[in-house]
Structure 1
């Protein structure tokens, strides 16, 4: 009986370690193939929109496309739209000359998030009015789920499993 419990505990532990450390990463995610304006392009006038095109269709849910100017403010106007492999967001007329950073996060067809950055440079200042501060928006976002509940659950599961192994391996009176 003790041998069976020990073997069962070993198999469970081995399976857990193999599942956590042996999982292969997926490599079939969408990838960005082009942007308009092109990455690193110099533009003299404000483009009406930013469009990113991927190698395959992307999901509409959770798509984010922002443009942050050299002044630290958002310059996109409205929500992005997704059509097949492309995501597009309209721009306000741009303001200060300098580098504008395009930030994106989309969900590929296989459900995995894909994110990145591109940039272009406005060579002549425009007269546009910026949107809200990108820094203020980042400060307003929550930090997400806390990790401590997951740690507590993990410890309880491990202690409970250990208790079951000890209880099952005790000798009958």
Structure 2
């Protein structure tokens, strides 16, 4: 009888500790933008040869996108973006019309959460570059909460495991 009571106490302690660990919030802050080149809102006489957006941590390279869209609605970025340290970088061809250019980015932070947004700069003197294809309007307007793994299935599973274990631990032993 004494052994069953101590086994039950150990099982309840283990289940309680498991519940605390399952229910504890994960320490995962999403990446945040720390700067860009050219700087957001800057005025430029000549276009940059590349554009970069920097973050407070190294973003994942999978599914990273970075586009430069001109005032004409066309893409001016060239080639695929790349991760360099804590920045995502893309090459830019010679720009064309003067006006506002939008830098649209989407990366996956180190914790797996996708983050996106837009920055911009103004070209004050027109260049002679040729635009790329028309920009996909949805690429610059993706929601910041557009993905990630939902938490609720893990909470339900943890609750079921904890409840089942607690019921098992607190059941009355059969009298012999």
1:121 to 2:127 alignment: no
CA contact (8 A) 2:66 2:81 kept: yes
Aligned residues: 162
Q: 1:133 — aligned with what?
A: 135
**In the alignment, is the contact (CA less than 8 A) between 2:68 and 2:102 conserved in 1?**
yes
TM-score, normalised by the number of residues in structure 1: 0.60
* Aligned-residue RMSD, C-alpha: 4.4
* Distance 1:115-1:152 versus aligned 2 partners, 3 A rule: closer
1:61 match? 61
Q: Structure 1: 5+ residue runs without aligned partners?
A: none
Contact 1:102 1:118 in 2 (8 A): yes
Change (3 A) 1:31 1:16: same
Superposed CA offset, 1:12-44 (max 9, x none): 333333x32xx55579x8974662x34332223
- Report the alpha carbon displacement of residue 45 of structure 1 after superposing the two structures with TM: 3.7
Contact 2:75 2:131 in 1 (8 A): no
**8 Å contact 2:36–2:51 — kept in the other structure?**
no
Give the conservation status (yes or no) of the 8 Å contact 1:105–1:116: yes
TM superposition shift of 1:133: 2.0
Q: Normalization by structure 2: what TM-score? A: 0.59
